[in-house]
Amino acid sequence: MVLPERQVDVFKKTAREIIADRVQGTARGFRERMGFQDMESGNYRQISNGGGTLL
């Protein structure tokens, strides 16, 4: 089983942009801890340069 934190780290290294669509209230704190930013629409977004570093 892959832990959610490790899965997000893998995505950060390979994707330029990650969108967490329709995040439930119970998962918002997790997304914020992982560096996602609230788009104020129920979605969270993270942009990186593909190397895990946020722009």
15 contacts 50 by C-beta, under 8 angstroms: yes
In a domain, 14, yes or no: yes
Kindly list the strands in the beta sheet with 44-47, ordered across the sheet, starting from the edge strand earlier in the chain: 17-20, 44-47, 37-38
Burial class (CB in 10 A: 0-12, 13-18, 19+), 36: buried
- Confidence (pTM): 0.63
| Residue 1, pLDDT score | 54
Is pLDDT at 51 greater than 80 in this prediction?
Answer: no
Is position 54 within any domain?
A: no
Residue with tokens 């570093």: 53
Asked, for residue 37, whether it belongs to a domain, the answer is yes
d(CA 30, CA 42): 14
The residue segments making up the domain with residue 36 are 4-47
Residue 40 lies in a domain: yes
pLDDT band for 50, please (50, 70, 90 cuts).
low
Q: What's the pLDDT score for residue 55?
A: 46
Q: What is the pLDDT of residue 42?
A: 86
> Does residue 52 form part of some domain?
no
Q: What's the DSSP call for residue 21?
A: T
Q: Count the domains in the chain.
A: 1
